[in-house]
Structure 1
Amino acid sequence: MDNHHKHRKSIVNRLAKIEGHVRAIKKMTEEGRDCNDLLIQLSAVRSAVDSCGKLILKDHLEGCLIEAVKSGKEAEMLKQLNDSIDKFIK
């Protein structure tokens, strides 16, 4: 892992928790649990995914963007960042 992605370990850990949570929701669904319970759990997963996205954005801003500025590729990186934000915040 390169040193300008300082949040990657935390991101991987959060994704593992999200994966486990989604598996638990699937099991709840198979067991016929109440729709309200399922919706509450899905809301928690959505929030966790958004939080993970924020960490990835921090990595991008604190690492990738800084590296792009140092190497003179800031215009290309800003375009890529704008595209990524547009896709993430649909």
Structure 2
Amino acid sequence: MTDPHIHATHPALITRLKRAEGHLRHVIGMLETGRSCTEIATQMQAVERAITAAKRTLIHDHIDHCLGNGDGDLDELRALAKLL
């Protein structure tokens, strides 16, 4: 088993993702209660932006702290760049 891979940003990312999770549950509730499509789409965009920001933070943190120590780093950097 490998050691946990935890960065200083992970607790804040967990908080951000839990908030997005709650927001997404709210969006599902909006669908279930028949709220307008415009309202739902607006809230879905907010959830999407929150998750995108969390992903970007995770990737930038990984680039800053984990790359530069091995031969496969350039390939990994290319793969990560596709996710941004």
Scaled to the shorter chain, the TM-score interval is 0.7 to 0.9
Whichever structure has more helix as a proportion of its residues is 1
The CA RMSD measured in Å over matched residues stands at 1.6
Which secondary structure state, in structure 2, belongs to the residue aligned with residue 27 of structure 1?
helix
Structure 2: segments with no counterpart, 5+ residues: none
Alignment of 1:1-90 (within 5 A): 5-66=7-68, 68=69, 73=70, 75-86=71-82, 88-89=83-84
User: Please, what TM-score do these two structures have when normalized by structure 1?
Assistant: 0.79
Structure 1: segments with no counterpart, 5+ residues: none
Runs of 4+ displaced beyond 6 Å: none
With CA pairs under 8 Å and 6+ residues apart, which has the higher RCO, 1 or 2? 1
How many equivalent residue pairs? Answer: 81
Distance in 1 between residues matched to 2:29 and 2:43, nearest whole Å: 12
The percent of aligned pairs where both chains have the same amino acid is 27
